[in-house]
Amino acid sequence: MCFVTYLPYQQGFILTSNRDEHVGRPKALPPKKYTLKGQSVFYPQDGLAGGTWIAASSNVTLCLLNGAFVRHHHQPPYRQSRGWAVLDFFSFKDTEDFVRKYDFSGIEPFTLVVVEQNDILQLAEIKWDGVRCYHKKLAAEVAHSWSSVTLYSNEVIYERERWFEEWQQKHPLFEGNDVLDFHSFGGKGDIENDLIINRNNELRTVSITQIQKTTEQFLINYWDRMNDQHYRYRIFDTEKVGC
């Protein structure tokens, strides 16, 4: 939920998320299939609030980052966890419907990346700053990256974007594992701001999740870094057939 990349790939995409969290937060459950509003949705479940930071159905993939445009003041109590907004999305027809009708009030600021696969691949970004919702469409045919504004300064965010651009230049051809390597080793040796962080053994990159979807495959890779456990799911027609 704190560093995310999107890459177009084989008429589909690869979306990868590094989750940075306080180590005292209850462990998340690995991805599994849930049924939401009659849809099969795959996601890891947050161990504290029960929501998620990343989820995918047959035609929608979502990824959440904390914060919107700038670092905000944490002002609890909030009506609900941001992670539930990801799951609530599946109650709406599409991104436009969600933006128009969803009740954002009482939720801490967040950024939501939305990939929709219908007749064409569509990419969008939704930002809720605590007062207003901002929605914009992005070019799905080019790569994008995001970092959480609650943890990283603008200088660090720009530097991460540069690392990602340099990696793309060196990897014009890539597979999902290449992207995972970048998310695992990208940086310059600064454990507080590299793509894998460790801030005083209190705030760490606790997991990496990757969703890879093309016309022929739907894969989820999940690495629980705190327990060094790897999960790989190969999904077809929204049914888990092997892992």
Domain ranges for the chain: 3-242
Convert the pLDDT of each residue in 146-166 to its tens digit.
999 999 999 999 999 999 999
SS3 assignment, position 78: coil
Q: How many Cα neighbours within 13 Å face the side chain of 162?
A: 9
Confidence of residue 119 (pLDDT cuts 50, 70, 90): confident
- Give the tens place of pLDDT for each residue, 190-233: 999 999 999 999 999 999 999 999 988 999 999 999 999 999 99
Model pLDDT, residue 74: 84
**pTM for this model (two decimals):** 0.95
Tokens standing for 62?
Answer: 């979502």
Question: pLDDT band at residue 73, thresholds of 50, 70 and 90?
Answer: confident
Nearest Cα neighbor of 230 from 91, 30, 76 is 30
SS3 51: coil
Q: What percent of the chain has pLDDT over 90?
A: 91
**Using DSSP, how many helices (H) and how many strands (E) does the chain show?**
4, 15
pLDDT at residue 125 is higher than 80: yes
Q: What is the mean pLDDT of the chain?
A: 94
- Selected from 1.20.1250.20, 3.55.50.30, 3.60.60.10, 3.30.70.660, the CATH number assigned to the domain covering 3-242 reads 3.60.60.10
List C-alpha distances in Å: 135 to 118, 190, 241. Answer: 19, 33, 35
Closest to 82 measured CA to CA, from 57, 56, 63: 63
- C-alpha distances out from residue 165 to 46, 106, 143, Å: 31, 36, 9
48, burial (CB in 10 Å: exposed 0-12, middle 13-18, buried 19+): middle
